[in-house]
Amino acid sequence: MTYYHFQDIVKESIGVLILCSLIAVLTGQVLYSMQDQLIAAPVFLVFVPVINGLGGNLGSIFGARITSALHLGSITKLSDKELHKNAAMSVFLGVTVYGLLAIIIYGVAPFLHLEINIDVMKFLLIFILSGVILTIGVMCIILVTAFLSFQRGIDPDNTVIPVVTTLGDSLGILSLLGMIWVIGI
Amino acid sequence: MGEILVGSFFGQLDLEMLPGLIVLVPAIIGLRGNISVALGSRLGSGFHLGVIDFSRSWRGEVKENIIASLLLSSFMSIIIGVFAYGTCRLFGLSSMGIFYFVGIALMAGFVSGMALATLAILTVYVAFRRGYDPDNITGPVLATLGDIITIVCILGASLLMKGVVP
């Protein structure tokens, strides 16, 4: 007899996978509704995985630090100074990293045969602002998930990452499209 | 840089020829990550628990894990295709036929699932051989390569569907 059985694995995973897929399809619909703008400026299509990937990385680092701090007792409530320092650091990291990436993409785009037919300032603004909104949004999701889990005696390490990866991707696309819509291209 | 590469493939998708294709993209990429990272994580735990021991018994355990991963990939891909088509109709958006949605999702989901399952086993095996903890390696490797492999599979599947079914 084997330790793992495919029937059990399938049974235990299918619920959460269906839920995640439904959220992702709805995100896809939002993307579809803005498809014309995206085709007009394909460079933003290139951004989608980049923004999401970075948001996920920044989020998991923040999440890992918060859950460890909760376990260690160095953060106990939302008004803790320690928490504010961590949050400020993450936002600062977000601005820096997204700014840097915007510059890299701006430089790399011609080699990928992607035209950037919009104003440089608008380009930078859309990229950095959507990155910052994503970072702050992901941080809020992490804090709510971590504190709620901790209060109920659930190990936040088991809840924070799945919640962040699922909601983070949707939020990344929404913040990018939101900024394109607000600033205009 | 890996992410930029993914994005540039993403830019190649022929979105105007296959209306609604873009709806599938986040769902399939997300699904791929969820299934294959979970597979990598189970293989890692199995390794720590001692039930997957590469020096003797591992084929049975790995087989169960792969069957589960491929079953989930196929079934969820069909669900995603149906969801995508259904929501397009629900919101009254123009879309390609349901056959295209399910066909592209299933093909891309299954092929990338196979590739990533192989990659997951390989990663755990190499980590084991070098004495690393597989938990530190499978996550990042599968997440990054998974995005690239999946988007290439979506691109391939959509080109194939467009060619085969005019």
Confidence at residue B15, expressed as pLDDT on a 0 to 100 scale: 67
Mean pLDDT within A153-171:
77
Distance CA(B45)–CA(B68), nearest Å, equals 16
More confident residue, A1 or A3: A3
Q: Cα-flanking dihedrals φ and ψ of residue B94, to 5°?
A: -70, 140
Nearest by Cα to B110 from B156, B41, B42, B163: B156
- Cα A45 to Cα A39, A105, A162: the distances in Å are 8, 12, 25
CATH fold of B29-162 reads Tetracycline Repressor; domain 2 (1.10.357)
Cβ pair A6:B46 closer than 8 A: no
Residues whose CB falls within 8 Å of the CB of residue A123, separated by 6 or more in sequence, listed in order: A43, A102, A106, A116
Per-residue pLDDT at A12 exceeds 60: yes
Of B23, B26, B79, the CB nearest to A169: B26
In this predicted structure, which of A105-109, A140-144, B99-103 has the lowest mean pLDDT?
A105-109
Single-letter residue type at A67: T
Of A2, A29, A46, the CB nearest to B7: A46
pLDDT score of A166: 74
> What Rg, from alpha-carbon coordinates, does chain B have?
17
Task: Please give the structure tokens belonging to residue B86.
Answer: 């259904």
pLDDT at residue B85, rounded to an integer: 92
In which band, very low, low, confident or very high, does the pLDDT at A105 lie, cut at 50, 70 and 90? confident
pLDDT of residue B77: 94
- Give the Cα separation of B117 and B136 in Å (integer): 17
pLDDT of residue A43: 74
DSSP state of A42: T
List chain B domain ranges.
29-162
| Residue A125 CB neighbours (<10 A) | 15
Cβ contact (<8 Å) for A29 and B88? yes
Show residues of chain B in contact with A6, CB under 8 Å: 64-65, 67-68, 71
Which stretches of chain B drop beneath a pLDDT of 70? 1-16, 55-58, 164-166
For residue B108, what pLDDT is reported?
Answer: 93
- List the single range of A39-48, A126-135, B136-145 with lowest mean pLDDT: A39-48
Torsion over CA: A96, A97, A98, A101 (sign) = positive
Give how far Cα A61 sits from Cα of A17, A50, A52, A67, A134, Å. 24, 17, 14, 10, 14
Residues in chain B within 8 Å Cβ distance of A47: 7
Contact (Cβ atoms closer than 8 angstroms) between residue B4 and residue A13: no
Q: Is the pLDDT of residue A177 over 80?
A: yes
A173 CB within 8 Å of a chain B CB = yes
- pLDDT of A155 > 80? The answer is no
Q: For all residues of chain A together, what is the average pLDDT?
A: 81
A54-70 mean pLDDT: 80
* Closest A-chain CA to B50: A3
Chain B environment of A114 (Cβ under 8 Å): 8, 11
- Shortest distance between the Cα of A47 and any Cα of chain B, in A, equals 6
Buried b (16+ CB within 10 A) or exposed e, A13-48: beeebeebbebbbbbbbbbbebbeebeebbbbbbbb
The whole-number pLDDT of residue A111 equals 76
Note whether A43 and A105 are within 8 A (CB): yes
Q: Which helix (H) or strand (E) holds B49?
A: helix B21-49
Picking from A127, A96, A27, the residue whose alpha carbon sits closest to that of residue B4 is A127
CA B88 – CA B77 distance, rounded (Å): 17
Phi, psi of A118 (to 5 degrees): -125, 170
pTM of the predicted model over 0.95: no
Mean local confidence (pLDDT), A78-95 = 85
Q: For B74-123, what is the HEC assignment?
A: HHHHHHHHHHHHHHHHHCCCCCCCHHHHHHHHHHHHHHHHHHHHHHHHHH
pLDDT at B13: 63
- The more confident residue out of B12 and A109 is A109
Cβ of B83 and A21 within 8 Å? yes
Contact between B30 and A169 using a beta-carbon 8 Å cutoff: yes
**What share of chain A has pLDDT > 70, as a percent?**
95
DSSP H helices in chain A:
6-33, 35-40, 43-72, 81-108, 120-151, 156-183
Contact A13 B65 (CB under 8 A): no
pLDDT tier for residue A176 given thresholds of 50, 70 and 90: confident
Residue range A74-79: mean pLDDT, rounded: 79
What was the pLDDT predicted at B103?
92
